């Protein structure tokens, strides 16, 4: 069994809640399924769960370099120079990243509002980019955008490998 879940902000990639963060059990009541890859509580979007150990390892293990696509709202305006840096790969404190595919985008009309909303500063604009990576380091996308001078305000994983969020409202899941 493979499940795609559109994880809301504030939900951990585990079934038990911890501190101020909710757990998956608030949304998914299926015994025997486990998360295939993580998505931090302050990030939203595609989370896959399965009851198949080899499939879980294939999705989560960085050796398989499964592509993940992120829609990222950043503080500041996305520039071609920043996109070029991200596309070549950037150096983080734990070493260089692999090259990414990066492009400036506009969010789709069906993008759900985040609860709570992001912080906004009236004198600092925000913009969006799409970033496709094949790694999964801790908070990698946030660190990559910060390295190019664009701090992340909102991070939504939209695709993992061949699986997308298409037609899946936030907080809901569907068996694939």
DSSP string, 26-85: GT---TT-EEES---TT-EEEEEEES-HHHHHHHH-GGG---EEEEEEEES---HHHHHH
Q: Set out the domains of the chain in order of their start, with CATH numbers.
A: 1-64+162-176 (3.30.70.580), 67-160 (3.30.70.1560)
Mean pLDDT of 39-52: 96
Determine which one of 26, 29, 40, 94 is catalytic.
40
Query: What's the pTM value of the predicted model, to 2 decimals?
Result: 0.95
**Phi (first) and psi of residue 55, to 5 degrees:** -65, -40
Please indicate whether residue 37 or residue 68 has the higher confidence score (pLDDT).
68
- Residue 13: pLDDT above 80? yes
pLDDT recorded at residue 136: 82
Residue 40 among the catalytic residues: yes
Task: Look at the alpha carbons of 12, 155, 176, 102 in this order and tell me if their dihedral is positive or negative.
Answer: negative
């Amino acid at each position: 069994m493979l499940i795609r879940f559109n994880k809301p902000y504030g939900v951990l990639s585990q079934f038990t809640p911890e501190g101020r963060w909710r757990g998956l059990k608030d949304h998914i009541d299926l015994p025997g399924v486990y998360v295939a890859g993580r998505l931090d509580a302050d990030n939203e979007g595609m989370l896959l769960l399965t009851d198949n150990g080899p499939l879980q390892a294939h999705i989560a293990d960085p050796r398989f370099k499964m592509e993940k696509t992120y829609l990222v709202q950043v503080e500041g305006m996305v520039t071609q120079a920043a996109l070029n840096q991200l596309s070549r790969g950037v150096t983080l404190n734990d070493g260089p990243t692999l090259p990414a595919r990066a492009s400036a985008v506009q969010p789709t009309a069906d993008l759900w509002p985040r609860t709570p909303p992001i912080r906004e500063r009236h004198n600092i604009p925000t913009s969006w980019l799409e970033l496709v990576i094949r790694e999964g380091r801790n908070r990698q996308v946030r660190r990559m955008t910060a390295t190019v001078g664009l701090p992340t305000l909102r991070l939504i994983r939209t695709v993992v490998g061949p699986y997308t969020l298409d037609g899946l409202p936030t907080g809901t899941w569907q068996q694939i």
